[in-house]
Amino acid sequence: MAKGMDFRARKGTHRAQLGLLLLCCPAMSLAAPPEISLGYDARYSDNIENTATQAQNDLENRFSLQGNYQTDPGKCVASVDGEIAHSIYTENTYDPETQINADALGRCELARGLSWDVENQVREVTRSSRQSDTPNNRTRKNVFRTGPDYRWRLTARDSVQLSSRYENTELSDEAEADSERVTGSAAWNHLFSSDLTAGLSASVSEVDLDTGADIQTRSLSVTGTKRWATTTLSGSLGVSEIETELGSVSQESDGIVGDLSLIRTLDSSATIFLRASRELTDQTSDFDIRFEDFTFELQESNTLEATSIETGLNKSLNNGDRLTLSAFANRSDFLESEEREDQIGVRAGYTRQITPLLSAVGNARYQYLSFESDQSDDQVVGLDLGLNYRASRSIELAARIGRNERTSDIKAQEYEENWVLLSIDYRFR
């Protein structure tokens, strides 16, 4: 699944992608055959619904198909990578469900400086962070966008880029708003040196929700990118204005917006990263796809000031072990209601290579949530331990045990869960 408030630990996080874009780019050259794998997970939980009382145990049987593919470089390129899964619950606690987490991207160069992009993203997203990550608190979000990019080189150091996008967002729950979005942007960039670029960017977007609301957003920013031998830093800082109209009612808000990206290679085995963004946006945007720990409260207002920051370390040790550390903080400030939500969390994962075929894994997560409207605070803790065994070049087996716990000022939101997971993956080669 794409993201969740609590631990639903599998063997990894998938970024699924759909292959339909391959059909739109007939001129692209085909690369190596796609990688495809089949998986089966059996997950037993002693509190499958994550409830405070009357815990119900159940066994989730999950069948998955994963694949990825990328074309060779050429005038047209495309990449696909994804997972489709189907879950059946032995005790019928939930109805059988199909989960899709998908990204697909295609780009064709139509003429010198002119290209056309097509992109589709699908995620199973969380409806509300006040509730746990169960099928009843998830909805499928599909974001499709397409449009042209034109880059015009004015001088050896100056260039202008014009972009336009049509975007359609659909949520699987009919009670939630879908949207159509049209965005236009213009950017000027100046090359100060071989490793420093800066410029200006302006964008305008208009969103039509199927509820009848219209949302217009206008932004103006200063942008820049700086590269060193082992570090890349890029970002933007500017102002934005958002206006919502529904019937005869109109509301405007403005604020400082920006984004930041830092990637630094410490040595051949370690990398640190930092990503941050602050936007005036609406709930049908892809902000919760770009920042997977961010949750739109789909029952709240349409527009919000969304802020997210995450940082982490990926380290490979000399003995084959792997260490991952990350931390994140999010804020949702809803512009049409009094609700404001803050989240802070940390994650840690360690993989110990016991033998060339056998490894032990451990993951831990802590998350603190604060809700301003009712002055309530929640804490979520998760821990899992397990073993991975590569039985052959194509078959991998895994076993995990874990525990999730949530404490809250609102007792109905609390729960405790213990779970066991057994899985097998078969990779076609």
pTM above 0.85, yes or no: yes
CATH classification of 20-428, choosing from 2.40.10, 2.40.170, 3.30.70, 2.20.25?
2.40.170
- Residues 6+ positions from 66 with CB-CB distance below 8 Å: 14, 16, 36, 37, 38, 39, 82, 83
Locate the domains of the chain by residue range. 20-428
Q: Which two tokens stand for residue 144?
A: 């499709």
* b/e 53-76 (16+ beta carbons within 10 angstroms → b): eebebbebebebebbbbbbeeeeb
Q: Can you give the pLDDT at residue 33?
A: 80
Q: How high is the pLDDT of residue 240? A: 97
- By CB atoms closer than 10 A (0-12, 13-18, 19+), residue 192 is exposed
Nearest to 179 by CA among 196, 191, 195, 167: 167
Q: What is the CA radius of gyration of the chain?
A: 23
Q: What is the pLDDT of residue 337?
A: 80
Q: How many helices (H) and strands (E) does the chain have?
A: 1, 20
User: From CA 3, how far away is CA 1, in angstroms rounded?
Assistant: 6
Cα separation of 283 and 305, whole Å?
Answer: 10
How confident is the model at residue 30, as a pLDDT? 53
Q: How far apart are CA 376 and CA 372, in angstroms?
A: 7
Q: Tell which phi-psi region holds residue 351, choosing left (phi > 0), alpha (psi between -120 and 50) or beta.
A: beta
Q: Tens-of-pLDDT digits for all 429 residues of the chain?
A: 343 334 344 433 333 334 444 444 444 455 568 899 999 999 999 999 999 999 999 999 999 999 999 998 889 999 999 999 999 999 999 999 999 999 999 999 999 999 999 999 999 999 999 999 899 999 999 999 999 999 999 999 999 999 999 999 999 988 788 999 999 999 999 999 999 999 999 999 999 998 889 999 999 999 999 999 999 999 999 999 999 998 888 899 999 999 999 999 998 899 999 999 999 999 899 999 999 999 988 776 689 999 999 999 999 998 889 999 999 999 999 988 878 999 999 999 999 999 999 999 999 999 999 999 888 999 999 999 999 999 999 999 999 999 999 999 999 999 999 999 999 999 997
CB count in 10 Å sphere of residue 196: 12
